[in-house]
Chain A
């Protein structure tokens, strides 16, 4: 009897150990069963000269709330704020006073999403859209220049998340905000710890279109440079597509390159100027890329540059453009260039103004691209719709700069302006009423080319530290320039040390609907009582009521018997 029991005990033990092993193996099953999964984009995290800015955390695992309840402890809640209803001053105060918060989730309107199909960049915006644009710009500036110790994410409004938000609002209105004991929604983002990006690269692409060298001409031909910076910076680096700043400039440069390559392909129509096209990176960071590009030039080449035109934000103006220079307007070269532009502008029916801003060599701040040229004594000007120089990290193609707010007709007019002025200067037709790039000619500006490139640019985030050396977009630009020019060079440099960036820009947010602990305890209570009732019922029906009572009376009766 004892040995049999021993053997049975051993068998039971081995069975238990097998079951335990099975449980351990099965516990490794990963669960992903959220009600809603949304793509979210993190606020940028960077250090400027050692001072931290942006959101410093990426991981998120807290309950959701729909508003800032005044007296509640929000250090373990994520507040979901649709940008339409945001109160900038309130958020600004909240951030500057360093009040605790678990996280912030901003919901952006669908119209600025690059997936939005029904925007064609007509440029005529309603009043609400203009308000939204300003609001986004303000919000972006606030977030970029603050150091926020909790995660901040952006997401686009869609049906799922709208439903979740209305549910949360309803719950918040009726009871206290969701915590571990009252149920509600839980937002979970599991992102890797943000790491510093080591040696971020900036890539400059240049295209060279040589002019016609007549035999017996020993001197170097003069060069005209057309430059545009193509990279962006914004609050959400994964969303910084910069359609206007500076997608419009890039598209204009490519179209001008195409037109001049048509002219230069035939030796009879090749001008006596070399043309140098430059797509530079590092624009938001004091035009660092342009600076490095110019430094890499041969001295002779630099001296042969007659003048350089930099294109910056020419996509959303009505009828006035500005030419910014750093040499005084009385300078002969500037006067000549400006007169050329004004002439063409009058014919096109738009106005061009001249703005002069002195450069201060000791100040590291470079507000316009042409200032990098001017520091090396090359005559240069920037054509832009902006009348005032933007501050550092302002108007660099962030959240509010989407295809929706762009005006394609404006870009076409700018291209006509620049191309016509350049051509008249190159071929010596100043003052004559000749239209070289007339509409309906073989040299007309091609709107579908512009549209397709704008479409591509509006879907490609181009923040330089997050673009690798062999980014497909950079290769596409290089190939395009190679189609239009004779010689293309790509220069890879490292971004200067003043800026440090951290990765982890995109993540997936899981929204779970959770039941509270009280619910589980209640359920346990109910189940416990149900099982007890079932037990009593079965004992009563099968063995009789006396047996049930005897179950509780057994210990005393045993004691009596032994005693």
Chain B
């Protein structure tokens, strides 16, 4: 019965990635290779981030919100952005359009993130007899992360791959990218500084991910118009 619960949480956490791949034209253009490469770039980025965190961060005794430590963590979080830049621009992809490239990279990025951060706790924890809501909330968080990753990839491709952007929209693009990139710091501030519980934090993440996805969709659409 508890393997049942593990199965449920697993399809909540990893199902949307598979559904996204098969539902959108990504599957028709066979962009699996791009996603796999993006996942590998994420692995490398995660390793570098770990090393930086271990070198520069002090471990605090209590679970409070320390502004300097959080600032340092945010700066290290920008390594994420650098990794995404590398995945979008430096890797050689097959001949796929801009539209699908950022989706594939975002999908691979989010899938690697879910597997790395959520598979092991899920396997060890959800199989036990004890029931908690944590793993379901974790799955919802993975969904929000997927949306955020795709929007960040969209904004990134707008920033670095598209040469002819309307002048007025450039600052907005950068601001949105900044917000999405600092989402981890914002959530940790909510959890530790304001003391929000996990369901509230997950709800906030879902809401902001939908909002940011909508905004970046609109931005992408408006930037697309001049070229078509």
A residues in contact (CB < 8 Å) with B: 26, 29, 31-35, 180, 183, 186, 188, 512-515, 517, 520, 523-524, 527, 531, 534-536, 538-539, 542-543
Contact, CB under 8 Å: B5 / A534: no
Q: Considering the complex, which residues of chain B in the window 15-67 have a beta carbon less than 8 Å from any beta carbon of chain A? A: 15-16, 19-20, 22-25
Contact, CB under 8 Å: B20 / A538: yes
Residue of B with least CB distance to A534? B19
Contact, CB under 8 Å: B25 / A542: yes
Residue of B with least CB distance to A34? B130
B11 interface contact, C-beta 8 A: yes
Known: A534-B19, A538-B23. Contact between A515 and B5, CB under 8 A?
Answer: yes
Once bound together, how far apart are the Cα atoms of A26 and B120, in whole Å?
Answer: 10
Known: A180-B1, A523-B8, A538-B20. Contact between A513 and B130, CB under 8 A?
Answer: yes
Contact, CB under 8 Å: A35 / B130: yes
Contact, CB under 8 Å: B129 / A512: yes
B83 interface contact, C-beta 8 A: no
Q: Most chain-A Cβ atoms within 10 A of its Cβ — which of B5, B12, B16, B131?
A: B131
Contact, CB under 8 Å: A534 / B16: yes
- B15's contact among A32, A523, A531, A538, by CB below 8 Å, is which? A531
B194 interface contact, C-beta 8 A: no
Shortest CB-to-CB span from B40 to chain A, Å, is 15
Contact, CB under 8 Å: A520 / B128: no
Once bound together, how far apart are the Cα atoms of A34 and B132, in whole Å?
Answer: 11
Once bound together, how far apart are the Cα atoms of A26 and B131, in whole Å?
Answer: 21
Residue of B with least CB distance to A36? B130
Contact, CB under 8 Å: A543 / B128: no
Q: Most chain-B Cβ atoms within 10 A of its Cβ — which of A29, A33, A183, A536?
A: A33
Q: Which residues from B are CB-within-8-Å of A524?
A: 4, 7-8
Shortest CB-to-CB span from A160 to chain B, Å, is 14
Contact, CB under 8 Å: A514 / B20: no
Interface size on B, residues (CB 8 A): 24
Closest 10 CB pairs of A and B: A538-B23, A512-B129, A515-B131, A33-B128, A31-B128, A542-B24, A520-B4, A512-B130, A535-B23, A539-B23
Residue of A with least CB distance to B22? A535
Q: Considering the complex, which residues of chain B in the window 56-96 have a beta carbon less than 8 Å from any beta carbon of chain A? A: none
Q: Which residues from A are CB-within-8-Å of B1?
A: 180, 514, 517, 520
Shortest CB-to-CB span from B149 to chain A, Å, is 15
Contact, CB under 8 Å: A514 / B129: yes
Residue of A with least CB distance to B16? A534
Contact, CB under 8 Å: B131 / A513: yes
Shortest CB-to-CB span from B210 to chain A, Å, is 12
Can you report 25 A-B residue pairs in the complex whose CB atoms are below 8 A from each other? A29-B123, A31-B124, A31-B128, A33-B128, A33-B129, A183-B131, A186-B129, A512-B129, A514-B1, A514-B131, A517-B1, A520-B5, A520-B8, A527-B8, A527-B11, A527-B15, A531-B19, A535-B19, A535-B22, A535-B23, A539-B23, A539-B24, A542-B24, A542-B25, A543-B24
B184 interface contact, C-beta 8 A: no
Q: Which residues from B are CB-within-8-Å of A534?
A: 16, 19-20, 23
B125 interface contact, C-beta 8 A: yes
Q: Which residues from A are CB-within-8-Å of B11?
A: 527, 531
Once bound together, how far apart are the Cα atoms of A513 and B4, in whole Å?
Answer: 16
B127 interface contact, C-beta 8 A: yes
Contact, CB under 8 Å: B25 / A543: yes
Residue of B with least CB distance to A520? B4
Contact, CB under 8 Å: A29 / B124: yes
Q: Which residues from B are CB-within-8-Å of A535?
A: 19, 22-23
Once bound together, how far apart are the Cα atoms of A336 and B64, in whole Å?
Answer: 80
Once bound together, how far apart are the Cα atoms of A32 and B127, in whole Å?
Answer: 10
- B129's contact among A29, A34, A517, A539, by CB below 8 Å, is which? A34
Once bound together, how far apart are the Cα atoms of A517 and B131, in whole Å?
Answer: 12
10 more CB-based (< 8 A) A-B contacts, given A514-B131, A531-B16, A535-B23: A31-B124, A31-B127, A35-B130, A514-B129, A515-B131, A527-B12, A527-B15, A539-B23, A542-B24, A543-B24
Q: Which residues from B are CB-within-8-Å of A513?
A: 130-131
Shortest CB-to-CB span from A60 to chain B, Å, is 13
Residue of A with least CB distance to B131? A515
Q: Which residues from B are CB-within-8-Å of A35?
A: 130
Q: Most chain-B Cβ atoms within 10 A of its Cβ — which of A527, A534, A536, A539?
A: A527
Q: Which residues from A are CB-within-8-Å of B22?
A: 535
Residue of A with least CB distance to B217? A541
Contact, CB under 8 Å: B8 / A542: no
Shortest CB-to-CB span from A520 to chain B, Å, is 5
Contact, CB under 8 Å: B8 / A33: no
Q: Which residues from B are CB-within-8-Å of A517?
A: 1, 4
Q: Which residues from A are CB-within-8-Å of B19?
A: 531, 534-535, 538
Q: Which residues from A are CB-within-8-Å of B16?
A: 531, 534
Once bound together, how far apart are the Cα atoms of A539 and B125, in whole Å?
Answer: 34
Once bound together, how far apart are the Cα atoms of A188 and B15, in whole Å?
Answer: 34
Once bound together, how far apart are the Cα atoms of A520 and B128, in whole Å?
Answer: 14
Shortest CB-to-CB span from B116 to chain A, Å, is 15
Q: Which residues from A are CB-within-8-Å of B7?
A: 524
- B23's contact among A26, A33, A186, A542, by CB below 8 Å, is which? A542
Shortest CB-to-CB span from A27 to chain B, Å, is 9
Once bound together, how far apart are the Cα atoms of A515 and B4, in whole Å?
Answer: 11
Q: Which residues from A are CB-within-8-Å of B20?
A: 534, 538
Once bound together, how far apart are the Cα atoms of A543 and B125, in whole Å?
Answer: 39
Q: Which residues from A are CB-within-8-Å of B130?
A: 33-35, 512-514
Once bound together, how far apart are the Cα atoms of A534 and B17, in whole Å?
Answer: 11
Shortest CB-to-CB span from A108 to chain B, Å, is 26
Q: Which residues from B are CB-within-8-Å of A26?
A: 123
Shortest CB-to-CB span from B86 to chain A, Å, is 25
Shortest CB-to-CB span from B150 to chain A, Å, is 11
Shortest CB-to-CB span from A542 to chain B, Å, is 4
Q: Which residues from A are CB-within-8-Å of B136?
A: 523
Once bound together, how far apart are the Cα atoms of A188 and B129, in whole Å?
Answer: 10
Shortest CB-to-CB span from B132 to chain A, Å, is 8
Residue of A with least CB distance to B23? A538
Contact, CB under 8 Å: A33 / B15: no
Q: Most chain-A Cβ atoms within 10 A of its Cβ — which of B19, B123, B136?
A: B19
Once bound together, how far apart are the Cα atoms of A523 and B22, in whole Å?
Answer: 23
Once bound together, how far apart are the Cα atoms of A29 and B121, in whole Å?
Answer: 12
Q: Which residues from A are CB-within-8-Å of B123?
A: 26, 29
Q: Which residues from B are CB-within-8-Å of A515?
A: 5, 131
Shortest CB-to-CB span from A18 to chain B, Å, is 15
Residue of A with least CB distance to B125? A33
Shortest CB-to-CB span from A74 to chain B, Å, is 21
Shortest CB-to-CB span from A513 to chain B, Å, is 6
Residue of B with least CB distance to A29? B124
Q: Considering the complex, which residues of chain B in the window 117-144 have a beta carbon less than 8 Å from any beta carbon of chain A? A: 123-125, 127-131, 136
Once bound together, how far apart are the Cα atoms of A33 and B7, in whole Å?
Answer: 18
Q: Which residues from B are CB-within-8-Å of A183?
A: 131
Shortest CB-to-CB span from A415 to chain B, Å, is 54
Once bound together, how far apart are the Cα atoms of A116 and B129, in whole Å?
Answer: 33
Contact, CB under 8 Å: A538 / B24: yes
Q: Which residues from B are CB-within-8-Å of A531?
A: 11, 15-16, 19
